[in-house]
Every structure is written in structure tokens, then in C-alpha cells.
Amino acid sequence: MSVSKNRREAERWLLTAEEGLRAAETLLNAGLFAQACFYAQQSGEKTVKALWYWVDAEPWEHSIQRLVMDFPEKQRLSDVAQWIEQAALLDKFYIPTRYPNGLPDLTPGQVYMRPEAVHGLETARALVAACRKWVVENSGA
């Protein structure tokens, strides 16, 4: 893909990440905390993948932490340690929020409570905002 096509693709991924935030909030408000956590993770994953497209690279990973650590322009991120911390928190919501065999003897709905969902949503919002800011600051790059 050309740089301009990849930047359009990045914008599509960012918009989808923002939609995921709204879905996570709806699920949180409905008391579906495991599902809200998963949508927060998905939002974070999509937003970091958007950065890869922005710099004309192909993301191929589901771990947000790995996507941040391997980001081709990582040196241009303002606080990599914070990005990695946020990514690590969201990565914990990838599998066990969806599958009962990811947890011992209980279902995701029994294990994930409001505090995890709120924290996940706040973390995903912060990551989306940081990515959106990064795109704006690097629009000329």
C-alpha cells in the first residue's frame, strides 16, 4: 500500500477503536463486565495497529504490548514505559474474558467485576487518546 492509502487505513482503524470504546462503555453500563474488558482490549489493539499503518508498516499481532514494543517508530513515542504498562493491562483481557476454559472453574462473567471493566475502559481511552495525539503530531512525518 502507498503511504496515503495506509494513512487512510490507519484512520479507519482509529475510528473502529473509538467505536469499540463506545461498545465497552455500553457493556459496562449493562453490567457485562467481562465483555466490556474484552472490548477495551480490542480497542487498544486496533488503536496501536493504526499507528503501524500510519508509518506504512503491517501489524501482525494480537498482543498490544508486543505491538508497542515492536513498533517501528517506538523512539518517537513520548513515554514508551507508560504505553507498555497500558498495553500489558489490556492484554490480560484478551483470552480469559471470552472463554470459560481460560479461568479455573468459573465463567468470565463470574470473575470480571465492575472495577476491572472501569479500569480497562479508562486504560483503553487513554491509549486511544495517546494514539490520536501521536497521529496529529506526526501528520507531517
DSSP of 14-58, one letter per residue?
HHHHHHHHHHHHHHHHTT-HHHHHHHHHHHHHHHHHHHHHHTT--
Per-residue pLDDT of 55-91, as tens digits, reads: 999 998 999 999 999 999 999 998 999 999 999 999 9
All residues at 6 or more sequence positions from 50 whose CB lies less than 8 Å from its CB, including other chains: 10, 11, 13, 14, 17, 131, 135
CA distance 137 to 21: 22
* Average pLDDT value over all residues in the chain: 94
What whole-number distance in Å separates Cα of residue 35 and Cα of residue 40?
9
Helix, strand, coil content of the chain in percent (nearest 5): 70, 0, 30
Residue 67: give its domain's CATH number: 1.20.120.330
pLDDT digit string (tens) for 83-100? 999 999 999 999 999 999
Q: What is the pLDDT of residue 115?
A: 98
Quote the pLDDT of residue 1: 57
Mean pLDDT of 100-118: 95
Residue 41 is placed in which grid cell? 482490549
Q: What is the pTM of this model?
A: 0.94
Q: Which whole number is the average pLDDT over 113-136?
A: 96
Q: How would residue 28 be classed by pLDDT, with cut points 50, 70 and 90?
A: very high
Would you place residue 3 in the very low, low, confident or very high pLDDT band (cuts 50, 70, 90)? confident
CA count, 13 A, side-chain hemisphere, 125: 11
For 41-52, the pLDDT digits (tens) are 999 999 999 999
pLDDT computed for residue 88 by the predictor: 98
Instruction: State the residue range of the domain holding 52.
Output: 3-137
Q: Report the pLDDT value the prediction gives residue 141, as an integer from 0 to 100.
A: 56
Residue 139 three-state SS: coil
For the chain, how many structural domains are there in total? 1
